[in-house]
């Protein structure tokens, strides 16, 4: 059902299950930078000798199954019981609106503040499943499944770019995201937590990232599972200045990441300020799931690095 206004009725929530996973289909878990080019350890798509093979391969993807304590199908998305009401695409224009209990075919555009989208499924062939205006604040998206409904054979430019667009100020919780070129795009004043990002759509010429920064500030990426395939031109996360021109105040903590040419990129670009105030702590890499390495980072970047490890318990120190 669709509910508008702060005092409108809401559908009764059903029980949520528990367990955990995380993913990013094209290969890099996290990319911080503009073009993904890292000077430490090589550039995306560049071979570095004979890399180790991934321990698990399922349809080209690395798998973090068995890594307890991270998001998975049971702990993300709408409740397993209870029917969702069919709906077409939506444009939300009323402050404080609540959208819940829907199975939406199309995209959701948010043009109002303090909107909540929850307990719903959004399946789209458009550019994004959910997109907010850049001026929007207070958007909360939780317990949703976002599906890119395009096959590689049918994909056209501009389709299924990402589950969430990088505009507005929002919090994304417990989302199951799959079928997009990139899982989530982030910029400024945003939180991604408790999400499972996986099964990204690999098409000719694409560089797939589980979570991709386009620059900006004040972003938290916490307790997610990002799974990527073992192949080139991919990552779990990429952090870069992007079109915004700067990157500062990003916290990446307590995530499970895998796959990619390099699993995480942190990159600068000539003529732009170097990323600063980057915190990478308490994350776990699936060992040997990448093509060239777990991290590609340009020199001189301000990074606080602590408590990171591989899934066998080995510490990962810079």
Average pLDDT, the chain: 82
Q: Which residue has the higher pLDDT, 229 or 287?
A: 287
Beta strands in 247-292 (DSSP E): 247-253, 256-257, 262-266, 278-281, 284-285
243 backbone dihedrals φ, ψ, rounded to 5° = -70, -20
Average pLDDT score over residue span 100-113:
98
pLDDT confidence band for 32 (50 / 70 / 90):
low
Which pLDDT tens digit goes with each residue over 200-229?
A: 998 888 889 999 998 999 999 999 999 876
Start-to-end CA distance of the chain, whole Å, equals: 50
β-pair partners for 108:
90, 130
For the purposes of burial, counting CB atoms within 10 Å of the CB of 243, is it exposed (0-12), middle (13-18) or buried (19 or more)? exposed
List C-alpha distances in Å: 177 to 59, 72, 208: 17, 11, 13
Res. 97: pLDDT tops 80: yes
pLDDT in tens, 141-195: 999 999 999 999 999 998 999 999 999 999 999 999 999 999 999 999 999 999 9
Query: Is there a contact between 181 and 197 (Cβ–Cβ < 8 Å)?
Result: no
Which pairing describes strands 216-222 and 190-193: parallel, antiparallel, or unpaired?
parallel
pTM confidence score: 0.82
Residue closest to 31 by CA, chosen among 252, 235, 292: 235
Per-residue model confidence (pLDDT) at position 268: 85
- Split at pLDDT 50, 70, 90, the class of 130 is very high
Report CA dihedral (223, 228, 230, 232) to the nearest 10 degrees: -110
Residue 296 corresponds to which tokens in the numbers above?
């590609």
Give yes or no for a contact between 109 and 131, defined as CB atoms under 8 angstroms apart: yes
């Amino acid at each position: 059902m669709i509910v508008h206004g702060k005092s409108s009725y809401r559908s009764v929530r059903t029980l949520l299950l528990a367990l955990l996973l995380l993913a990013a289909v094209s290969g890099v878990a996290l990319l911080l930078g503009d073009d993904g080019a890292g000077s430490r350890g090589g550039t995306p798509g560049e071979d570095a000798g004979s890399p180790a093979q991934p321990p698990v391969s399922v349809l080209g993807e690395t798998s973090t199954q068995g890594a307890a304590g991270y998001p998975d199908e049971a702990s993300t998305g709408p409740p397993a019981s209870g029917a969702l009401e069919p709906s077409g695409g939506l444009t939300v224009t009323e402050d404080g609106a609540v959208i819940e209990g829907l199975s939406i075919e199309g995209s959701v555009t948010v043009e109002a503040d303090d909107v909540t989208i929850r307990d719903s499924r959004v399946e789209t062939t458009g550019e994004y499943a959910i997109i907010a205006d850049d001026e929007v604040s207070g958007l909360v998206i939780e317990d949703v499944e976002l599906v890119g409904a395009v096959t590689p054979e049918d994909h056209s430019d501009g389709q299924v770019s990402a589950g969430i667009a990088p505009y507005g100020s929002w919090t994304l919780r417990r989302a199951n995201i799959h079928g997009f070129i990139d899982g989530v795009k982030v910029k400024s004043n945003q939180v991604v937590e408790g999400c499972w990002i996986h099964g990204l759509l690999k098409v000719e010429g694409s560089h797939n990232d589980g979570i991709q920064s386009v620059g900006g500030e004040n972003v938290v990426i916490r307790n997610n599972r990002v799974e990527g395939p073992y192949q080139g031109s991919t990552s779990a996360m990429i952090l870069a200045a992007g079109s915004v021109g700067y990157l500062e105040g990003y916290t990446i903590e307590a995530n499970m990441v895998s796959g990619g040419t390099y699993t995480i990129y942190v990159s600068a670009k000539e003529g732009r300020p170097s990323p600063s105030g980057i915190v990478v702590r308490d994350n776990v890499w699936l060992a040997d799931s990448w093509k060239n390495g777990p991290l590609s980072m340009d020199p001189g970047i301000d990074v606080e690095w602590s408590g990171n490890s591989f899934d066998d318990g080995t510490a990962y120190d810079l």
